[in-house]
């Protein structure tokens, strides 16, 4: 009897193994939109997190490839199957499955969702995917972003304002960044630099390391579970990517309110060339050094070599405080010409037209912008009439707690008390916070705040 039961159980288990692929394949759906058709499949995998998402994607794509190679009328209704065969003809199916195998295209994936103990995802492929292969453009999915399911706890981000669910989101973002990029990150080290729909620019500031920028391409809250202690646990689907250096510089430049650049040099030829390069990049060039956040300093000479006159020059960047950022020197041996005024212009033209020199100068400018951002932004000087200063220590403390203000210092300059600080945005934005701060500092002494230029404010 025991043998009979054992044999029966083994037989049932074998039947389940045989039936499992058929049960999975029954999830295949076909939809037709005019001349375009879509094949949809749902993939699931046990567990949570990035690995479960990848396993669910693999499950879905394997089912799609299996069906495209061996379509079965049993898996679709009769009418749908006939339409599918017309839209996905033999040649289309063969080319799409081949492109899947070679990694040239991927399905379009939905956001992951939970189903019991499984993580699931919907995958879709259309019959015109082949046109994307022909054009060399991959449009399916976000290959540069990495998705992960993360549970956040509001208790780990209690310093964040906006409620428990927002605190849980910050905790989840920190955990998601840590697992995606293998960084040790806490919610306290995160800043949001900008939001757009479901996208966020996340700044990661860590002691002793250059500031990192991560793009939260999309986020979706899947559940929320209030706890007895008043905190909230919530599960989020997060998709992260790291911006290119060019994109990162663009983000920083915008956040720093387009920091003004001054070119310091006695060589007008090089000044004109640098001005053109900066303008092409979208930098804002000013003619007054006192109105600049960044100084681009060029030192040059025209040495004589055996082959003729050369151009040797260096480019250094700094801010008005004397903080040095980056240094670069050209390769003087690139070209030599007969000595003349015209040849000096030709030397300048040639060096700035050289692709490698252009790349290196661009890299220097990118590095400068990012280092200025690391410091906390441009220096802004706030000039106080002595009657508006009151208690200097209290004034310094109040200005230090204004959001994003860093490195506050006070000194006497002529008949003014000057507060110098770093701030990432415009003086106009700072003035909005400065006025209520001064009212708190000296409620009986009305102060008028005047913006002289982007980095100069007077309080009277």
Q: Which residues of the chain have pLDDT under 50?
A: 1-26, 133-143
Digit-coded pLDDT (tens) for 387-432? 777 788 888 888 888 888 999 999 888 888 899 999 998 888 888 8
pLDDT score, position 3 = 40
pLDDT score, position 415 = 85
pLDDT score, position 431 = 87
pLDDT score, position 6 = 41
Q: Which three-class secondary structure string do you get for the chain?
A: CHHHHHHHHHHHHHHHHHHHHHHHHCCCEEEEECCEEEEEEEEEEECCCHHHHHHHHHHHHHHHHHHHHCCCHHHCCHHHHHHHHHHCCHHHHHHHHHHHHHCCCCCEECCCEEECCEEEEEEEEECCHHHHHHHCCCCCCCCCCEEEEEEEEHHHHCCCCCCHHHHHHHHHHHHHHHHHHCCCCCHHHEEEEEEECCEEEEEECCCCCCCEEEEEEEEEEEEEEECCCCCEEEEEEEEEECCCHHHHHHHHHHHCCCCEEEEECCCHHHHHHHHHHHHHHCCEECCCHHHCCEEEEEEEECCEECCEECCEEEEEEECCCCCEEEEEECCHHHCCECCCHHHHHHHHHHHHHCHHHHHHHHHHHHHHHHHHHHHCCCEEEEEECHHHCCCHHHHHHHHHCCCCCEEEEEEEECCEEEEEEECCCCHHHHHHHHHHHHHHHCCCCCCCEEEEECCEEEEC
pLDDT score, position 35 = 57
pTM above 0.85, yes or no: no
pLDDT score, position 34 = 54
Q: What percent of the chain has pLDDT over 90?
A: 35
pLDDT score, position 413 = 85
């Amino acid at each position: 009897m025991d043998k009979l039961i054992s044999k029966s159980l083994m037989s049932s288990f074998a039947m389940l193994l045989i039936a499992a692929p058929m049960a999975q394949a029954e999830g295949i759906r076909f939809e037709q939109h005019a001349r375009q058709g879509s094949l949809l499949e749902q993939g699931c995998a046990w567990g949570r997190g990035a690995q479960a998402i990848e396993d669910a994607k693999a499950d879905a794509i394997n089912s799609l490839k299996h069906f495209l190679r061996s379509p079965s009328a049993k898996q679709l209704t009769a009418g749908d199957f006939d339409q599918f065969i017309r839209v996905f003809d033999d040649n289309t199916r063969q080319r799409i499955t081949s492109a899947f195998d070679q990694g040239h295209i991927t399905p379009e994936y939905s956001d992951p969702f939970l189903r019991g103990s499984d993580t699931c995802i919907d995958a879709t492929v259309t019959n015109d995917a082949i046109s994307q292969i022909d054009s060399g453009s991959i449009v399916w999915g976000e290959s540069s972003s990495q998705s992960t399911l993360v549970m956040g706890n509001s208790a780990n981000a209690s310093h964040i304002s906006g409620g428990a669910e927002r605190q849980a989101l910050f905790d989840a973002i920190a955990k998601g960044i840590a697992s995606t990029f293998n960084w040790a990150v806490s919610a306290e080290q995160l800043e949001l630099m900008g939001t757009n729909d479901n996208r966020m620019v996340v700044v990661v500031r860590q002691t002793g390391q250059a500031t990192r920028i991560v793009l939260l391409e999309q986020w979706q809250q899947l559940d929320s579970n209030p706890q007895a202690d008043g905190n909230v646990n919530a599960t989020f689907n997060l998709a992260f990517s790291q911006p290119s250096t060019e994109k990162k510089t663009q983000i920083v430049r915008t956040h720093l309110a387009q920091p003004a650049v001054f070119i310091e040099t006695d060589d007008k030829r090089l000044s004109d060339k640098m001005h053109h390069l900066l303008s092409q990049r979208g930098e804002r060039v000013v003619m007054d050094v006192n109105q600049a956040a960044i100084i681009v300093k060029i030192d040059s000479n025209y040495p004589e070599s055996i082959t003729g006159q050369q151009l040797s020059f260096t480019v250094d960047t700094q801010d008005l405080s004397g903080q040095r950022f980056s240094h670069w020197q050209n390769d003087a041996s690139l070209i030599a010409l007969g000595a003349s005024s015209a040849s000096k212009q030709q030397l300048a033209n040639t060096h700035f037209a050289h692709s490698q020199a252009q790349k290196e100068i661009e890299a220097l400018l990118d590095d400068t912008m990012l280092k200025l951002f690391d410091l906390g932004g441009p220096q802004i000087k706030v000039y106080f009439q002595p009657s508006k200063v009151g208690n200097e220590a209290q004034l310094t403390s109040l200005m230090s707690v204004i959001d994003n203000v860093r490195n506050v210092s006070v000194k006497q300059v002529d008949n003014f008390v000057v507060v110098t600080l770093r701030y990432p945005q415009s003086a106009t934005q700072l003035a909005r916070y400065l006025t209520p701060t001064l009212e708190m500092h000296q409620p009986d002494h009305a102060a008028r705040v005047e913006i002289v230029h982007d980095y100069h404010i007077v309080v009277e």
